[in-house]
């Protein structure tokens, strides 16, 4: 039967709980009988007088009443003017068998844990005062300070019947004991409790819970007199090992040992053969002393992050101090790997151990060697975490150099910020000071004794990345940023990552967008920048767009839908208007070339592309090279109409207009026999409109098979469409809408006074043509030559319906399989064109085979002949050969194949029986590990094949005297993938080959080896600008992320 015994702070009561066995009823019954016999004697012990009972029943009633009154009565305090005289208490008599002078005591109800409380009966000659044993209270008689002295010594007590009434509002304060909360005990076998010695013993699967302290062991001994408890394990004679080791769980950590002694009053502990968990690390020692503040002092200690009972590695020190959640400090230590001591060590050890995801502290640099920079120290600095919203990482690099180049240095500032439910972002600034040229040796260039070396100028470069992502909120604006900018060639010089090295164009955008509340208006303000590795830069400051959602004019007039009947509903209810405005200001360091037809000479400008150096001295030239303008687009919808049951007609009307602050004017200069181009400032407005209509339908062709065959049906879906578009002639735009200046100048008007040899440049194409007044402007000119074109397109899709062999329930016995995802053809004819009215036939094809092979191809066929220079002329092919209608002009082919055994499955069956890794790059500020994408031990192997080919015949000379370009202008193949060689070893590879130029494009091989608590990874680049290799062996845990060994050999190393 369960038995409870409790101890509280106020009443001093202990509570025990015994589960299945413990104090049985046979043991408890004699105790209850003894308490019943001794209970009537409690009256004299409490100082109460009871008259002789008249009968046995009345005596029991009176004794019970006396006990209740004794418990509930409050002692009266003596008044200042009165003295209480107590009646003489009869001296208790000793029972037969007791020592003389001893007195009977009431049954034990309150167990005091005060060490001053005497244990057992008083010695002979000592009088028992009969005071209740309250924990913390004095057990000595209270002296009477008002006693009258007697002659010859001694005192006399005054006796009086006058007493002061007790204060009903005054409650006697009960002193607190040493125990502050309830202690709970459980044991599987039994609990032995010794009241006399104040000791409790718990056997087999014992557990003691005291507040935030929990102790489990095979045997636990609790001593109330000393407020201690001791736990021991059980030796298994068969397995010859200690079972049920003591485990102490405290607020500071978890302790496992062979013996634990704990004081639950002072919260000190002594642990033998201890292993304690502190965050991600494990501390073991021969002896551990735990202090009240939670600090740990260890003797002959070990520190490791390996979670095995016999760790693969550890840091061994004779003395060790652990401050939980902060750090581990040791004396002289050395690193032990596989129980083999290594010479790696130091005079003292300091290992940060934050109890949260991040904290401020020093970042230990990484030591290594590179072929182009010599020995180096990288990524050393400080991480500053001022609050929970921002983290700042400041690091630096130092390079010693070698016999060919001097050393350099670099610095990085990385700021990461996050505000939950609002935004998050990262800002990174990197600076590099590195001489790119070799050391200059004056004279003959030999390294003679005493010769002076001249240091080449250093090449300063930088790179900025910034990403900011807000959390979308309804009705609010959205500010976002994605910036990648810096010095040209920075990534190529300071990085070995393939994606950074091979990327030639980078773009940056900073934007703010908002939808106005209660209005159909939205706007977007954007700042953008684009740059290339060749030094080109283009800035758009700013780019503003304003849009008005689709509006229905009949709603403005208050007309209800359907008021005009069927005809009215078809007309004005489908009439819509939308508007979009775009304004941009753009400038670039690239000066575009200017040229006229047939190479006629120009005054000023250049025929080749030039670049302006990007610096503050050339700021004026950069701004003058800028372009700006405003573009308006009006969308007018006139609805969609059905023509019969199968056809649908969609008419469209659009109007566009651009505004410029300048235009070009062409003037022929007879003296120079060249054309001068002048820029005329002023407001210029150019607009154009267009009309169009499309007629389309959908045709289905199906083929169904009966029975239970594999292929049940085939469906062919065709979507033919006919489109018509019309736009007026922009050359004579002034005839149909007002213009402030001519859009085009006639060539015959410009070249009126051309004489001499320059006449050979002027053909009918120049004299009869037009010169664009807005050539090279931001938005160009809307429209152009008169266009009246009709085009045809046809879209095809083929699908199969097959029986699903995997379906055994019959609920879904069929599945669809796509044979052709798309086969599109389009061709057009322009009635208003002066030559080559028929456009090329364009074909696009795409499909997927077995869900792994994707094919995309395209081709363009021309119906015209070519001259000897490879230029198309206005003559059809069938005019020269009746059997030939089209000629292949260009073609492209792309194929990708991705395969791994787990494709199409939800979860891989391959499990990794190793400790979970803790990648230091996860959850920290800094550049990500790009090669971590290839480390996936759940997939045994994967293979990705890519192929791209391109064919073109444009401007290919037909004469054999000229050298022809290759048939395939683009012909490349690439292989990427990974192989799981062992359960913990994975190899990844990336290889490309350009078949046209017969070169290999940036190959690299990486490997990753999982060593439970360690990891080995490496990269090998066999050739190229970043030729070399790297090798790293390091601990997985982020606590020991600087405990690693690096070997690097790169031509260009970051």
Rounded mean pLDDT, 14-20: 39
Highest mean pLDDT range out of 165-169, 177-181, 1004-1008, 1031-1035?
1004-1008
What's the CA gap between 461 and 459, in Å, rounded? 6
CA distance 779 to 788: 23
538 CB-near residues (< 8 Å, 6+ apart): 529, 530, 531, 586, 587, 588, 589, 590
SS (H, E, C) 399-465: ECECCCCECCEEEEEEEEEEECCCEEEEEEEEEEEECCCCCECCCCCCCCCCCCCECCCCEEEEEEE
More confident residue, 1054 or 440: 440
**pLDDT over threshold 80, residue 60:** no
Q: How long, in residues, is the chain?
A: 1054
359 or 8, greater pLDDT: 359
pLDDT by residue (tens digit) across 730-768? 766 554 444 556 676 666 667 666 665 556 556 555 655
**Residue 499's pLDDT is what?**
66
Instruction: Please say whether the dihedral angle defined by the alpha carbons of residues 329, 330, 333 and 337, taken in this order, is positive or negative.
Output: negative
Q: Identify the bridge partners of residue 742 per DSSP, sorted by sequence position.
A: none
Instruction: Report residue 939 as tokens.
Output: 């997939």
CB atoms within 10 A of CB 810: 6
Peptide bond into 323 cis (omega under 30): no
| Mean pLDDT score of the chain | 75
| Identity of the highest mean pLDDT range in 39-53, 173-187, 188-202, 362-376 | 188-202
Q: Minimal CA–CA distance to 669: which of 741, 764, 750?
A: 750
Rounded Cα–Cα distance for residues 531 and 487 (Å)? 9
Q: What is the pLDDT of residue 451?
A: 53
Mean pLDDT of 766-771: 66
pLDDT given at position 49: 44
Kindly state the average pLDDT of the residues 61-68. 74
Higher pLDDT, 393 or 353: 393
- pLDDT tens for 679-695 read 888 888 888 888 999 99
Task: Look at residue 132 in the predicted model and tell me its pLDDT.
Answer: 43
Give residue 438's pLDDT band: very low, low, confident or very high (50, 70, 90). Answer: low
HSE value, Cβ hemisphere, 13 Å, CA-based, for 351? 34
Categorize the per-residue pLDDT at 1027 as very low, low, confident or very high, splitting at 50, 70 and 90. Answer: confident
Parallel, antiparallel or unpaired: strands 602-603 and 674-696: parallel
Residue whose pair of structure tokens reads 């810096």 in the numeric block: 486
- 700 φ, ψ to 5°? -115, 140
Domains, in order of start, for the chain? 217-357 (2.60.450.10), 647-831 (no CATH), 840-1050 (no CATH)
pLDDT digits (tens, 9 = 90+) for 869-879: 778 888 999 98
Structure tokens at 809: 């329930």
Q: What is the pLDDT of residue 427?
A: 94
Is 80 exceeded by the pLDDT of residue 719?
Answer: yes
Say which residue, 133 or 412, is predicted with more confidence.
Answer: 412
Question: What percent of the chain has a predicted confidence (pLDDT) above 90?
Answer: 15
pLDDT band per the 50, 70, 90 thresholds, residue 580: very high
Number of H helices, E strands in the chain: 10, 57
Range with lowest mean pLDDT among 418-422, 926-930, 979-983: 926-930
Predicted confidence (pLDDT) at residue 393 exceeds the cutoff of 90:
yes
Output the furthest CA–CA distance in the chain (Å, rounded): 160
Closest of 84, 140, 144 to residue 114, by C-alpha: 140
pLDDT beyond 90 at 1020: no
Token pair in block for residue 888: 């292949």
Distance CA 506, CA 529 (A): 8
Higher pLDDT, 261 or 784: 261
Average the pLDDT over each of 58-62, 87-91, 598-602, 1017-1021 and give the range with the smallest value: 87-91
Query: Is 412 in contact with 394 (CB distance < 8 Å)?
Result: yes
Comparing 1042 with 728, the larger pLDDT belongs to: 728
Cα(271)–Cα(266) distance, integer angstroms: 15
Question: pLDDT by residue (tens digit) across 404-421?
Answer: 777 788 899 999 999 988
| Least confident residue range of 125-134, 180-189, 456-465 | 125-134
Does the structure show a pLDDT above 90 at 724? yes
Q: Which residue has the higher pLDDT, 218 or 159?
A: 218
Matching residue, tokens 């982020």:
1038
* Residue 765: predicted pLDDT: 56
Owner of token pair 């052709």? 820
* pLDDT score at 221: 92
When pLDDT is averaged across residues 119-144 and rounded to a whole number, the result is 46
CA–CA separation, 432 and 396 (whole Å): 10
Is the per-residue pLDDT at 437 higher than 50? yes
Full DSSP string of 345-385:
EESSEEEE--SSS---EEEPPEEEEETTTEEEEEEEEEEE-
Question: 742 and 695 in contact (C-beta within 8 Å)?
Answer: no
End-to-end CA distance of the chain: 73
Q: Are 202 and 208 in contact (CB under 8 A)?
A: yes
List the beta bridge partners of residue 324. none
Q: Work out the pLDDT band at 16, boundaries 50, 70, 90.
A: very low
Partners of residue 315 on adjacent β-strands: 303, 335
Residue 499, phi then psi, degrees to nearest 5:
-65, -35
pLDDT band at residue 989 under the 50/70/90 scheme? confident
Q: Do 333 and 317 contact (CB within 8 A), yes or no? A: yes
Q: Is the pLDDT of residue 322 over 70?
A: yes
Give dist(CA 728, CA 808) in Å, integer: 65
With vertex at residue 787, the alpha carbon angle to CA 785 and CA 790, rounded to the nearest 5 degrees, is 160
Say which residue the tokens 């060593």 belong to.
Answer: 1011
Instruction: Give one DSSP letter per residue of 281-349, joined into a string.
Output: EEEEEEEEEE-TTS-EEEEEEEEE---SSS-SEEEEEEEEEEETTTEEEESSEEEEETTEEEEEEESSE
CA dihedral (344, 350, 355, 361) positive or negative: negative
CA-based radius of gyration for the chain:
48
**Lowest-confidence pick of 192-196, 326-330, 596-600:** 596-600
Higher pLDDT among residues 809 and 1000, named by residue = 1000
Q: Does 166 score more than 70 pLDDT?
A: no
Question: Would you place residue 288 in the very low, low, confident or very high pLDDT band (cuts 50, 70, 90)?
Answer: confident
* pLDDT, greater one: 125 or 354: 354
């Amino acid at each position: 039967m369960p038995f409870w015994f409790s101890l509280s702070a106020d009443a001093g009561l202990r509570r025990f709980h015994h589960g299945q066995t413990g104090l049985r009823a046979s043991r408890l019954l004699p105790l209850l009988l003894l308490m019943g016999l001794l209970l009537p004697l409690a009256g004299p012990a409490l100082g109460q007088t009871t008259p002789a009972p008249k009968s046995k029943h009345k005596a029991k009633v009176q004794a019970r009443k006396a006990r209740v009154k004794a418990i509930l009565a409050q002692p009266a305090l003596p008044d200042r003017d009165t003295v209480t005289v107590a009646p003489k208490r009869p001296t208790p008599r000793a029972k037969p068998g007791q020592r003389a002078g001893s007195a009977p005591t009431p049954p034990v109800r309150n167990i005091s844990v005060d060490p001053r409380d005497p244990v057992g009966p008083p010695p002979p000659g000592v009088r028992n005062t009969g005071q209740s044993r309250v924990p913390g209270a004095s057990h000595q008689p209270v002296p009477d300070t008002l006693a009258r002295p007697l002659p010859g010594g001694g005192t006399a007590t005054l006796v009086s019947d006058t007493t002061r009434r007790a204060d009903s509002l005054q409650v006697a304060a009960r002193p607190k004991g040493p125990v502050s909360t309830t202690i709970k005990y459980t044991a599987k076998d039994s609990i032995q409790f010794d009241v006399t010695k104040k000791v409790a013993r718990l056997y087999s699967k014992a557990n003691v819970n005291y507040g935030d302290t929990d102790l489990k062991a095979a045997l636990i001994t609790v001593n109330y007199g000393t407020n201690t408890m001791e736990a021991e394990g059980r030796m298994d004679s068969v397995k010859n090992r200690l079972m049920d080791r003591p485990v102490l769980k405290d607020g500071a950590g978890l302790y496992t040992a062979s013996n634990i002694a704990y004081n639950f009053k002072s919260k000190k502990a002594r642990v033998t053969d201890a292993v304690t968990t502190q965050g991600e690390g494990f501390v073991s020692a021969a002896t551990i002393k735990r202090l009240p503040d939670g600090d740990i002092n260890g003797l002959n200690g070990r520190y490791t992050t390996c979670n095995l009972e016999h760790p693969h590695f550890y840091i061994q020190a004779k003395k060790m101090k652990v401050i939980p959640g902060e750090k581990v400090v040791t004396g002289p230590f050395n690193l032990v790997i596989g129980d083999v001591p290594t010479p790696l060590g130091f005079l003292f050890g300091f290992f940060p151990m934050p109890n949260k995801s991040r904290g401020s502290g020093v970042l230990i640099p990484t030591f290594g060697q590179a072929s182009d920079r010599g020995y180096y120290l990288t990524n050393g600095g400080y991480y500053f975490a001022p609050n929970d919203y921002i983290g700042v990482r400041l690091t630096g690099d130092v390079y010693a150099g070698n016999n060919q180049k001097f050393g350099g240095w670099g610095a990085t500032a990385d700021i990461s910020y996050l505000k939950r439910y609002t935004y998050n972002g990262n800002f990174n600034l990197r600076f590099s000071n590195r001489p790119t040229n070799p050391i200059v040796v004056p004279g003959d260039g030999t390294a003679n004794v005493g010769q002076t070396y001249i240091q080449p100028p250093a090449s300063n470069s930088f790179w900025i990345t910034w990403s900011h992502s807000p959390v979308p909120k309804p009705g609010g604006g959205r500010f976002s940023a994605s910036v990648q900018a810096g010095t040209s060639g920075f990534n190529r010089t300071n990085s070995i990552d393939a994606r950074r090295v091979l990327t030639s164009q980078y773009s940056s955008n900073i934007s703010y967008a908002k939808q106005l509340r209660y209005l159909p208006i939205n706007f977007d303000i954007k700042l953008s920048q684009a740059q290339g590795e060749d030094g080109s830069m283009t800035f758009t400051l700013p780019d503003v767009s304003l849009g008005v959602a689709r509006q229905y004019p009949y709603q403005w007039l208050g007309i209800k839908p359907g008021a005009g009947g069927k005809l009215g509903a078809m007309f004005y209810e489908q009439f819509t208007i939308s508007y979009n405005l775009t304004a941009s200001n753009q400038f670039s360091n690239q000066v575009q070339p200017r040229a006229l037809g047939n190479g006629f000479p120009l005054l000023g400008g250049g025929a080749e592309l030039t670049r302006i150096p990007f610096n503050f001295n050339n700021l004026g030239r950069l701004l003058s090279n800028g372009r700006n303008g405003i573009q308006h687009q009006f969308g007018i919808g006139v609805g969609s109409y059905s023509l019969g049951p199968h056809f649908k007609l969609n008419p469209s009307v659009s109007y566009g207009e651009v505004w410029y602050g300048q235009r070009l004017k062409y003037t022929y200069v007879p003296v120079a026999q060249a054309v001068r181009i002048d820029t005329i400032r002023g407001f210029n407005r150019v607009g154009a409109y267009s009309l169009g209509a499309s007629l389309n339908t959908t045709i289905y062709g199906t083929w169904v098979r009966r029975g239970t065959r594999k292929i049940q049906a085939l469906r062919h879906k065709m979507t033919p469409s006919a489109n018509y578009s019309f736009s007026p002639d922009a050359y004579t735009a002034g005839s149909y809408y007002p213009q402030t200046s001519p859009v085009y100048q006639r060539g015959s008007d410009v070249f009126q006074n051309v004489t001499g040899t320059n006449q050979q440049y002027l053909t009918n194409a120049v004299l009869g043509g037009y010169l664009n007044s807005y050539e090279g402007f931001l938005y160009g000119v809307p429209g152009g030559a008169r266009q009246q074109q009709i085009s045809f397109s046809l879209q095809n899709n083929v699908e199969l319906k097959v029986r699903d062999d995997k379906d055994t329930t019959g609920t879904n016995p069929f599945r669809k399989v796509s044979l052709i995802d798309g086969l599109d053809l389009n061709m057009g004819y322009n009635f208003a064109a002066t030559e080559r009215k028929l456009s090329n036939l364009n074909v696009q094809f795409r499909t997927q085979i077995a869900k792994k092979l994707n094919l995309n191809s395209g081709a363009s066929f021309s119906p015209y002949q070519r001259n000897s220079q490879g230029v198309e002329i206005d003559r059809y092919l069938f005019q020269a050969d009746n059997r030939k209608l089209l000629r292949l002009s260009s073609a492209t082919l792309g194929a990708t194949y991705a395969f791994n055994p787990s494709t199409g499955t939800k979860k891989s069956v391959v499990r990794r029986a190793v400790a979970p890794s803790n990648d230091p790059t996860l959850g920290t500020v800094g550049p990500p590990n790009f090669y971590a994408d290839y480390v996936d031990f759940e997939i045994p192997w994967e293979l990705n094949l890519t192929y791209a080919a391109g064919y073109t015949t444009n401007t290919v000379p037909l004469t054999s005297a000229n050298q022809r370009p290759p048939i395939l202008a683009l012909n490349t193949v690439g292989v990427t993938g990974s192989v799981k060689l062992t359960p913990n070893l994975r190899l990844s590879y990336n290889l490309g080959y350009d078949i046209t130029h017969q070169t290999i494009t940036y190959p690299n091989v990486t490997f990753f080896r999982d060593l439970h608590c360690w990891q080995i990874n490496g990269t090998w680049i066999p050739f190229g600008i970043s030729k070399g290799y790297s090798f790293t062996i390091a601990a997985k845990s982020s606590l020991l992320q600087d405990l690693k060994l690096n070997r690097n050999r790169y031509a260009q190393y970051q």
